[in-house]
Structure 1
Amino acid sequence: MSVKIRLARGGAKKRPYYRIVVTDSRMPRDGRFIEKIGHYNPMLPKDHDNRVAVDTEKAAEWIKKGAQPTDRVARFLKDAGVYEWTHGNNPKKAEPGEKAKERAAERLEKEEAKKAAAAEAEEAKAAAAAAPAEEEAPAEEAAAEEEKSE
């Protein structure tokens, strides 16, 4: 039998209140439990004394027997000094899936194509602006030469 130390929800709708219970892992969240070892009231401010209360002796006893706390309860037990909890390290958890990576690659290609088209358009405008200036310059020089020769 796998034993867990976890939260069992109580309270009204939108007013949660949790009991910290020791239960068989196969039981439903709010179902039958072996022993109640504390409570957690998330509606209270974080610095309030009654927000979390755990019977540390009972918790330590159940952990020695092999009960596994859930992440949230493990944090409470760590704060109480009963259990050594470390934050899990799963660097691939936040990595996007294959479809999302494909969409990002397509989006990047479209943006690069737009940038290339915009750069070509700017070059064409610059060339068009430079071309009449070059054409006018020889005409001006020719007019200046005609004035000198006269």
Structure 2
Amino acid sequence: MLTIRLSRIGKKKKPTYRLIISEKTKDPYGRALEILGAYNPFTKELTAKKDRIEYWLKNGAGMSPTVNNLLLQKEIIKGDKVTASKTGKNTKEEVIKRLKEENEKRLADIKAKTETEDKKENTEETAEKAK
């Protein structure tokens, strides 16, 4: 399946992106079928070939969620925004709750480990006294 997505170009710490169309399974930094535009995240400037994007979409190409949202924002296409990340952002309460649970589990493991070590020492001491 063909996909319209971003391919990073530019210098270190100064990214710019190309809007490309390529196979979904291919490397985005490899050879693209066509360059459809460019995006500069610092200036939020998007240059795109609207007619070519529409052509590829009519012929069954898909888009990455980020590209979809960029094109919607610049009103090149119409539709709804897509959630870019599959997992939602955790709220502070969720993170704190999860960390507390992990800490409780670790403490329980440590207590169990020390109890088994104490039992081993006690059995060794009683065995030595019995001799």
Separation in 1, partners of 2:84, 2:41: 26
Identity across the alignment (%): 27
Q: Does 1:62 align with 2:61?
A: no
Deviations 1:90-136 (A, max 9, x none): 9x734659x928718x5xxxxxxxxxxxxxxxxxxxxxxxxxxxxxx
Separation in 1, partners of 2:84, 2:40: 28
Where is the strand percentage greater, Structure 1 or Structure 2? Answer: 2
Aligned length: 100
Change (3 A) 1:74 1:89: closer
Separation in 1, partners of 2:30, 2:80: 26
1:11 touches 1:17 (CA, 8 Å); kept in 2?
yes
Tell me the TM-score normalized by structure 2: 0.62
Q: Which residue of 2 aligns with 1:85?
A: 80
1:56 touches 1:80 (CA, 8 Å); kept in 2?
no
Separation in 2, partners of 1:53, 1:89: 21
Gaps of 5+ in 1: 107-150
Q: Which has the larger radius of gyration?
A: 1
Tell me the TM-score normalized by structure 1: 0.55
Q: How large is the Cα RMSD of the aligned pairs?
A: 3.1
User: Counterpart of 1:26 in 2: which secondary structure?
Assistant: coil
Pairwise mapping of residues 30-69 of structure 1 onto structure 2 (< 5 A)? 30-44=29-43, 46=44, 51-69=45-63
